[in-house]
Each structure stands twice: as structure tokens, then as C-alpha cells.
Amino acid sequence: MSSIIEPNQPLRLGVVGNPISHSMSPQLHQQFAQQFGIDIQYGKICPTAKGFNRVLNDFFQSGGYGLNVTAPFKQQALDYATIITQRAKDSQSVNTLVKTKEGILGDSTDGIGFVKDLHHKELDFQNKRAVLLGAGGVARCIAQALLLDGFEVYLINRTQSKAQAMAEALNHLGPIQLYTNDIAVDLVVNSVSFNAEQFLPQIKFDNTAVAYDLNYGAKAETFLTAAKDYTALQFDGLGMLIEQGAEAFGLWTGKYPDTSLISL
């Protein structure tokens, strides 16, 4: 991949989503840039679904270099990119775009960001069995990363056919199947937006099991509070947000920030 960063010019970056006003990405990437003395301009972009391609074309053609992509545009970003990494293909999702001389590169850093956050927390999963709640786009990113990290992955989803389709699509990466409650797991990951706590009684937990909600802040409180009755430790997705952002920053600049220094 050949960089086209302009010398002596601020690096134009941004995040695209709808809604996007709540995003902490500008503060996050300014902190990353400060670690290396890099001058960046980072903005929020809120297109409609129909206007997505036009807005991105305007951004890249006017000197924009890299974008984070959040809901609901990760599938459209996959279609928009002209070069797709293998992990983005497996995830069927793109959350990072970067302009190169060869075209617009699309990558998915959600999964690796999640696994890196687990590693930074120094959690010991002896059996490495995870149950994933949900089978949407972000769940596929997480499943792909867990499989590559050596986990057995089990799925629970309201629509079993959707979970089965995801399991079949990722089976080449490792053991992934629908969950049955005779299997003890040591990690439960919630990827759905609401009512995930209803699934907890269906799961057989190891004594040292950990609960992780990909949501963060108030959105994660209901699930993580309920999980205290079943798991030894509970975490929200703020660490994943930071780690996936660091991976994106590394793609853009070749420099990987120290995420332990970040304050959000």
C-alpha cells in the first residue's frame, strides 16, 4: 500500500455515521496524534444512506485521507472500498477507510480492537470458549477475531437461521456453532442493543466467567448489571473503542499509539 500523505499538511481524517453527534472519535484521535506530534484535522460526517457515496467521494477528492466508519454504514463502506483486507472480507464489514495510490482501502479493526482489549485486561480464559449474543455485523467481526485468537465460539441469536448462516460463513476459521446449554463458557459477549440479559439464564458459565458488552456507558449498564449474577467480571466496550481506533490510526500513519495513556 502506497501512502499519499501530503508533507507539511494537516492529515485530514474523520468519522462517518448517522447519528454521529455522540462520537468520541475526534477526542480519541487527537490524543493519538499528540503522542507523535502529528497535526490532524478530524471531523464528523453525517450523510444519508443515499448520499453516502457522494459525501465520501467529496471527502477523498478534496484531500481527505482516512475515515472511521460507524453504524449504519459499515456494509456500504465495504461496497465503497476498492481494496478489501482479508479480515474485512471475513467480517463482511469495513470500519476504516484510507486513501492510497492504488485506491480506497477498506479494513475492519473492530475485531482486533476487541481482542487487544481482552489481552490488555490480562484475562485468563483457560477453556477459551465464548458465547456471542447476536449475529449482526459487529458480531461477525468479533466472532472472526475470537476464532483467530483460538476460541471456540458459540452463537445465541433470536433468529437461529441468521446465526447458522454466520457460523457456516466463518467455519473455515475455527470451531463455531449454535450454543447448547450443556457447554460451560468462560466469556460471554453481548453485541445486541437491548434485552440481551434475557439470554443469560440459558448459558452455563464457568466459575471465573467474564461478561463483555460491546456497548459502552449507559447502553451497557442493564446487561452488565444482570451479568453480575452469573459472571466474576464485567466490562463495557470503551476499551474496544480505543483499541480499534488505535488500529485505524496505525493504518493511516504507520504509528501505533500507547492506548494506556488515553482518557475519555
Cα–Cα dist 116/243, whole Å: 7
Question: In degrees rounded to 5, what are phi and psi of residue 63?
Answer: 105, 0
Residues 74, 101, 219, 255: which is the catalytic one?
Answer: 74
Continuous H helices in 20-85: 25-36, 52-61, 74-80
The reply to whether the predicted model has a pTM over 0.75 is yes
pLDDT, tens digit (0-9, with 9 covering 90-100), for 100-127: 999 999 999 999 999 999 999 999 898 9
Give the DSSP letter of residue 259. Answer: G
Domain with CATH 3.40.50.720 in the chain: 112-237
Residues annotated within a binding site: 23-25, 70, 95, 110, 134-138, 157-162, 214, 216, 237, 244
Cβ atoms of residues 15 and 44 within 8 Å: yes
Q: Which amino acid is at 26?
A: P
Instruction: Copy the grid coordinates of residue 108.
Output: 475492519
* Structure confidence at residue 6 (pLDDT): 62
* Structure confidence at residue 2 (pLDDT): 60
User: Quick one: 11-108 is in which CATH superfamily?
Assistant: Leucine Dehydrogenase, chain A, domain 1 (3.40.50.10860)
* Structure confidence at residue 235 (pLDDT): 98
* Structure confidence at residue 238 (pLDDT): 96
* Structure confidence at residue 26 (pLDDT): 97
Domain with CATH 3.40.50.10860 in the chain: 11-108
Cβ atoms of residues 85 and 107 within 8 Å: yes
| CATH architecture, domain defined by 112-237 | 3-Layer(aba) Sandwich (3.40)
Residues annotated within a binding site for shikimate: 23-25, 70, 95, 110, 216, 244
* Structure confidence at residue 124 (pLDDT): 87
Q: Indicate the pairing of strand 83-84 with strand 40-45.
A: unpaired
Cα–Cα dist 219/237, whole Å: 10
Q: Is 74 a catalytic residue?
A: yes
Cα–Cα dist 55/176, whole Å: 38
Nearest to 20 by CA among 50, 42, 41, 53: 42
* Structure confidence at residue 117 (pLDDT): 97
Low-confidence ranges of the chain (pLDDT < 50): none
